[in-house]
Amino acid sequence: MSKIAIIGNGISGVTAARFIRKNSMHEVVLISEESEYFFSRTALMYVYMGHMRWKDIQPYERGFWKKNKIDLIQARAESIQFDKKCIQLNNGSTVNYDYLILATGSKSNKYGWPGQDLSGVRGLYHKQDLEYLERCSPGIRRAVIVGGGLIGIELAEMFQSRNIPVSFLVREPQFWSMILPEEESKMINRHILEHGIDLRLNSQLKEINGNEAGNVHSVTLDSGEEIKCDYVGLTAGVSPNIKFIESSEIETDRGILVDEYLRTNIPDVFAIGDCAQLRKPRKGRRDIEAVWYTGRMMGECVAQTICGKQQIYDPGIWFNSAKFFDIEYQVYGQVPSKMTDDLESFYWAHENGKKSIRIVYEKTQQTVVGFNLMGIRFRHEVCEQWILRKSALDKVLEEIRLAFFDPEFYEDCSAELLEIYRQKSGKKIEATAGWRLDEANLFLNKNNQKT
């Protein structure tokens, strides 16, 4: 029996702990400063908006930890002596380990803007950020959000739920245009405006201005314009939270460098989740992917390895999902924001301007490589199989109804989709499949291909 210490009780650390317990009776200790119990960071916004209470975003009840013999320590790891296998905590105590898993997550980026440390200026990542925002909220007459990513739009929605007017600064000409193709970007632009948000495209922050008391009172843009505000949300991305070990012998770049088994350069020390940077990422995937499910996969993978079933980290085909106010977004496979030379895409949008389907395919072979969906839910496994099997675009369109995952009685847009495709391609294709679960299951059973 070994002792395994995990620093960070986010999704990666907790998943690792759970799977170690599932596979073994090793001693497990979970160290985190932020909160006593694991909570879903992804749900912070819902607490602020009053959809849920703090306890509702904690997936496990208190008793769970005791029952599964996972020890919890709420403290900060200040430093680690890797040679002695010993962690120093900020409460003065130390923790020894046989194996160490680093799962310290991310922190909000600050790009050195003048005034970024004034009071009333803050990112949204930690529980404490939310508490801070809650304390400030009664005094906010207008808020400014800097950075147009996923957290930025969530923050905008949060302010909007409290009737706080928002100015949303996006550096690019379209919202999230580094990731989204232009049409989808524009759809979200419109949707943001529809919610009464003062969206400022092509706007860069130059300076944050404060008063004598050190509180923010306005921001200045590159254009020279000044916007009065009482709160500035910094949401220009996140980066690995590894400051406390950067000066140690562990190898880091932007994150902690790990191999395909998630091992660091130090024996018996692993890194997973947002803080880990893969030395050799799989083709088509990035070295740091700060998303929920990769953290979960890494946690499971590292647990297997530690419990003696060496497992290579393989995240499969990329997917992600988000929600922009009321529009759901899903992506499967490869969908570049600007089509490259070898790729082309077929795009269809509903006339209501809130739904669209984009299928990306390889030009010469016509094989499908990616899906981008707005306001429409597709079945994950089906899309994955099409991509894995390198299905041809025609075939995918014929079978498209297998992929619909929308709730019952939703409008089936496949007829319109096919019609547009017929017009564009001049081909005569007909739907061959229905949308029912049965057919989708048959399809999946028949083509059970693994990544």
Partner 1 sequence: MSTFGIKILQKGRNKMWSVVIGFSGFLMLVAATYDLLPVGLFILVISLTLISFGIILYAYEAYRDVPEGIKNNHNFFNSLSSRGWLGWLTGMVLTGFYILLYWFPEYLGQGDKSNTGLVAFFDPLSQLLKKQNASQWFVYGVLYTLAILIMGVKFIWKYRHSKYQLIRTLSVIFFQLAFAFLIPEFMLRLNMPYNDFKNMWPLNYYFFDGWHLQEMMQNGNIGWLMLIWGVLMIVVVSPVLTYFFGKRWYCSWVCGCGGLAETAGDPFRHLSDKSIAAWKVERYLIYSVLVFSVVMTAGVLYSFYSGRPSIAGIDTASLRSIYGFLIGSAFSGVIGVGFYPLLGSRVWCRFGCPMAAILGIQQKFFSRFRITTNGGQCISCGNCSTYCEMGIDVRAYAQKGQDIVRASCVGCGVCSAVCPRGVLRLENGSIDIFDRAKKVRN
Summarize as ranges the residues that interact with partner 1 (CB under 8 A): 11, 40, 42-43, 46, 49-53, 56-59, 61, 63, 161, 163, 165, 191, 194-196, 292-293, 296-297, 319, 321-323, 325-326, 328, 330, 377, 379-381, 384, 405-411, 436-438, 441-442, 445
Does residue 44 touch ligand FAD according to CB under 6 A?
A: yes
Task: List, as one string, the DSSP characters of 196-223.
Answer: T-EEETT--EEEEEE-TTSBEEEEEETT
Does residue 331 touch ligand FAD according to CB under 6 A?
A: no
Does residue 32 touch ligand FAD according to CB under 6 A?
A: yes
Instruction: Name which of residues 107 to 136 contact ligand FAD (CB under 6 A).
Output: 124-125
- The tokens describing 446, both together, are 């028949």
Least distance CB 408 / partner 1 (angstroms) = 5
Q: Which residues of 64-94 are buried (b: 16+ CB within 10 A; e: fewer)?
A: ebeeeebebbebebeebebeebebbbeeeee
Does residue 244 touch ligand FAD according to CB under 6 A?
A: yes
Nearer to partner 1, 94 or 441 (CB): 441
Nearer to partner 1, 42 or 367 (CB): 42
Least distance CB 308 / ligand FAD (angstroms) = 23
Nearer to ligand FAD, 192 or 440 (CB): 192
Q: Residue 49's binding partner, choosing from partner 1, ligand FAD, none, with beta-carbon cut-off 5 to 8 A by kind?
A: partner 1
Q: Which amino acid belongs to residue 304?
A: Q
Instruction: Name which of residues 131 to 160 contact ligand FAD (CB under 6 A).
Output: 151, 154
Task: List, as one string, the DSSP characters of 245-292.
Answer: GTTSSS-BSSSEEE-TT-B-SSTTEEE-GGGEEESSPPTTS-S----H
Q: Residue 178's binding partner, choosing from ligand FAD, partner 1, none, with beta-carbon cut-off 5 to 8 A by kind?
A: none
Please state, in angstroms and rounded to a whole number, the distance separating the CA atoms of residues 271 and 103: 6
- Burial of residue 270 (number of CB atoms within 10 Å: 0-12, 13-18, 19+): buried
Out of 4, 5, 7, 360, the residue judged to bind ligand FAD by CB under 6 A? 7
**Which region, judged by CB under 6 A, interacts with ligand FAD, from 29-37, 181-189, 198-206, 350-358?**
29-37
Contact 353, 190 (CB under 8 A): yes
Q: Residue 140's binding partner, choosing from ligand FAD, partner 1, none, with beta-carbon cut-off 5 to 8 A by kind?
A: none
Q: Which residues contact 206 (CB under 8 A, 6 or more apart)?
A: 113, 114, 219, 220, 221, 222
Q: Which amino acid belongs to residue 375?
A: G
Does residue 16 touch ligand FAD according to CB under 6 A?
A: no
Please state, in angstroms and rounded to a whole number, the distance separating the CA atoms of residues 135 and 215: 14
**Which region, judged by CB under 6 A, interacts with ligand FAD, from 1-9, 167-175, 347-355, 412-420?**
1-9
Nearest to 70 by CA among 60, 80, 79: 60
Q: Which amino acid belongs to residue 200?
A: R
Q: Which residues bind ligand FAD (CB under 6 A)?
A: 7-13, 31-34, 41-42, 44, 76-77, 103-106, 124-125, 151, 154, 241, 244, 273-274, 290-292, 295, 322
